Structure 1
Amino acid sequence: MEEVKEVVIVGGGIGGLAAACGLGKLGKKVTLLEQAEEFGEVGAGLQVGPNGLRALDTLGVLDEVYKHAVFPRRHVFKDAITGKELSALVFGETFRERYGYPYIVIHRTDLHTVLLEACRSLDNITFKSNHRLLEVTEHDDHVELLCANGAVIRAEMVVGADGINSNTRKLISNDKLVPSEYVAYRFTVSASEMKLDIDWDEKFTWIGPGIHLVQYPVRHKSVINQVAVFKSQSFKDGSDNCGTVEELHQMFGNSCPTIRESLKFAEQGMVTKLFDRDPLDNWTSKRVTLLGDAAHPMLQYLAQGACQAIEDAVCLTRVMSENSDIDKVLSLYQEERIPRTAQVQRGARQWGEIKHAEDPTTILLRNTIMENRDAEDFKYLDWLYSKRTAPAAISLAQQ
């Protein structure tokens, strides 16, 4: 039996690495478990708003992140059917002054690599790949982790950052995934292949009844990241055959020519069903807590999944720097983070409904509001992007 580790983090994704980086720089001895054979990341594009960049800056990796980032000039919202511009956000000087940071898009692998290299530079972080967690058992003075390869690892404290299907979460909650009835096609295309009259200095979101398409460049604008989302009629029936390419083209059949041309590349991508979970009012059991999608999986409509995971990591690092008692650390951590992440989870659901509105009256109201707002009116973003102070604990039932 190995010695008792100081901190074990389950999951080597962006959230797990961010936590390892923060706690490692604090001087904690961290063991990072990853179920895959190698530490890496699957996926394509990622959006990081000012709150995520603020957290990355706190971790000391922002300059490296910027080397891989694209800085869009605007986020443009367009009607997926008519192609008409509905609204925009200008990421200019006013935006940066208001929030202290810009808005970036980046390849997910590039952000993961920056965090991984930051962790590898610290000799108090140990990496263990091919360690898929099966079971967590708590004792009075330590936690035991049983892995699929037969390894049994003991820890003083465990952070479950093992994603939406977290095995760590099972220790705390038996809740179920919440199906959204939507699926997403994620695919990238070389910019040279995109024969469209589009300004790739901008980021685009096309919205329509039961559909939306997001497009933006990554890797120095050499690659275009695209995500096509649509409501699958067979999702709610539990069919394994939902979200087919045929259904994709059927749902986007009335969309404008630019979208139909863009979707010619969709079959090269990866299709996933979209789920989240209802917010929890507790993430912690004795010496175990949750982080990122393991704690608060959310729909992607606010582009906050990675940002909230990195915020979690920074918060956990800060409270651990101020307290030596594990009970107090984990209590303060979730006291601060649960209200924040629950608000973002619910906000993502609401924004998805707004994007995908099907009722003509709702669409008219949405479009009228969007068309009449100023591109530098950011008041609706302050709750998400502004620098925050640690909130007092509040009950989820009161939100």
Structure 2
Amino acid sequence: MDDVAQLSETQVIIAGGGIGGAATALALARYGARVTLFERSAEFGEVGAGLQIGPHGARILDSWGLLDQALAAGVQPKNIVFRDAITTEVLTTVDLGARFRAHYGGPYFVMHRSDLHAALIGAAQAAGADLRTGVTVTDIVTEGHRAIVRTDDGATHTADVAIAMDGLKSRLRAKISGDRPVASGYVAYRGTFPYAEVPLDRDIEDVVGYIGPRCHFIQYPLRGGTMLNQVAVFESPNYGTGAPDWGGPAELDTAFAHCHDTVRKGLEYLWRDRWWPMSDREPIANWVDGRMMLLGDAAHPPLQYLASGAVMALEDARCLADYAAAGFADGGNAAWPRILREVNAERAPRCNRVLTTGRMWGELWHLDGTARVARNELFRTRDTESWKYTDWLWAYTSDRN
């Protein structure tokens, strides 16, 4: 933390108070930056259920002093297990034990989204960040060496740099790109229930993924094993017809009718009053407009197949803070344009690879017919002692780490 004095001279505004915004506020405030975050919701909170944190995220949380807290709130599964959704046959297993942790320098764990978010919010406030709810950032423009931030209450704020982390449907991304979210045609249903309420043939100690034609089903424990998290994802027939209400609960059971009883029974323990149509964005190479930068899902919202969306936001936060601390040693606030360019150059190839690989991975999971047979054989014969397919994702560190 030798660069605290330099960053104490800079003012940063963050638009968006989700996991990425909270992490960025924490990362910059730890270096002494004066951070103000605006969140449009009336209070901080995360909608959803469980999330998976690979070792690439665990190492960052550890560097911020939050890993022990996160592990205490979550579960360290023994394995990631892929099964065929029709037969339940085990196709391949990733052992998450001691050898895995030693190779990647951290554990793989699962936790509730709200628990991670609360930990980041608390740590950011403790580090001195000013976090405000009920305020929406409507525009960011660059004037000279300042970012001018306008909010929906009519106020105007100035900062040395502004970070747009306003999510998949980011209004601020329009200042850089005219693209729109890309619907995948798949929809996710989630449910988190106490273990005692879910009749199971056995305790689930792993992250288990049942992959099948046009659908998949995920199970893993949460909160010390007291709760079961489930996610059902399927291709919506109504999406292909152009129906505006595609993916509704009337489609859910039929979408899994071809799957094993084990999967179909799990559908009874999902929330049916809400669902999440799955969308991403086309990769873009540039995330910077003057002294504004897109990060998190505003820059690179992936489909969920690599379970790395939240970790990409953590990586963004740490990368930005580390580059800023190093850059200020050379140029102070005048260095911000160069810092943003360097972060963009570091992060865009990485995150866009996650985005495009996630699309491919989703196609692979959902194959049917002879393609499914070939996929299953590929999984069965995978060299479980090799890291060559996962190092690019889980072993990553930025140039400034």
Instruction: Name the TM-score, length of structure 1 as normaliser.
Output: 0.93
- Which stretch of structure 1 is more off in the superposition, 99-108 or 171-180? 171-180
In 1, the alpha carbon distance for the partners of 2:65 and 2:175 equals 33
- Which stretch of structure 1 is more off in the superposition, 20-29 or 36-45? 36-45
TM-superposed deviation, 1:272: 1.3
In 2, the alpha carbon distance for the partners of 1:98 and 1:267 equals 37
Deviations 1:354-394 (A, max 9, x none): 00112x22111110011122444332111111143539xxx
TM-superposed deviation, 1:32: 0.7
Aligned residue identity for 2:343: Y
In 2, the alpha carbon distance for the partners of 1:259 and 1:321 equals 49
In 2, the alpha carbon distance for the partners of 1:122 and 1:93 equals 33
Contact 1:47–1:106 (Cα < 8 Å) also in 2: yes
2:346 corresponds to 1:336:
yes
Q: Which of 13, 20, 23 matches 1:15?
A: 20
Q: Which of 231, 235, 246 matches 2:235?
A: 231
Correspondences of 1:308-327 after superposition (within 5 Å): 308-324=312-328, 325-327=335-337
Q: Which of 71, 84, 88 matches 2:89?
A: 84
In 2, the alpha carbon distance for the partners of 1:389 and 1:155 equals 26
2:114 corresponds to 1:109:
yes
Partner of 2:36: 31
TM-superposed deviation, 1:201: 1.2
TM-superposed deviation, 1:87: 1.1
Partner of 1:381: 390
Q: CA RMSD in A?
A: 1.6
Partner of 1:250: 254
Aligned residue identity for 2:148: E
Contact 1:186–1:269 (Cα < 8 Å) also in 2: no
- Which stretch of structure 1 is more off in the superposition, 127-136 or 323-332? 127-136
What secondary structure sits across from 1:163 in the alignment? coil
Aligned residue identity for 1:46: L
In 1, the alpha carbon distance for the partners of 2:149 and 2:172 equals 9
2:361 corresponds to 1:356:
no
Partner of 2:49: 44
What secondary structure sits across from 2:238 in the alignment? coil
TM-superposed deviation, 1:136: 2.2
TM-superposed deviation, 1:198: 3.0
TM-superposed deviation, 1:237: 3.8
Partner of 1:291: 295
Contact 1:20–1:32 (Cα < 8 Å) also in 2: yes
Q: Which of 105, 120, 124 matches 1:119?
A: 124
What secondary structure sits across from 1:57 in the alignment? helix
Aligned residue identity for 1:314: R
TM-superposed deviation, 1:161: 0.9
Partner of 2:60: 55
Partner of 1:207: 211
In 1, the alpha carbon distance for the partners of 2:95 and 2:156 equals 51
Deviations 1:21-61 (A, max 9, x none): 11001000000110001112111101000111112222232
Deviations 1:6-29 (A, max 9, x none): 100111111111111110010000
2:84 corresponds to 1:95:
no
Contact 2:198–2:269 (Cα < 8 Å) also in 1: no
What secondary structure sits across from 1:367 in the alignment? helix
Percent identity, aligned pairs only?
Answer: 40
Question: CA, structure 1 residues 238+141, in 2 after alignment: closer, same or farther (shift >3 Å)?
Answer: farther
Contact 1:5–1:31 (Cα < 8 Å) also in 2: no
Instruction: Name the TM-score, length of structure 2 as normaliser.
Output: 0.93
What secondary structure sits across from 1:175 in the alignment? coil
In 2, the alpha carbon distance for the partners of 1:78 and 1:195 equals 20
TM-superposed deviation, 1:171: 1.4
In 1, the alpha carbon distance for the partners of 2:219 and 2:45 equals 24
Where does structure 1 lack aligned partners over 5 or more consecutive residues?
392-399
In 2, the alpha carbon distance for the partners of 1:310 and 1:357 equals 32
Correspondences of 1:88-237 after superposition (within 5 Å): 88-123=93-128, 125-237=129-241
Partner of 2:5: none
In 2, the alpha carbon distance for the partners of 1:246 and 1:83 equals 25
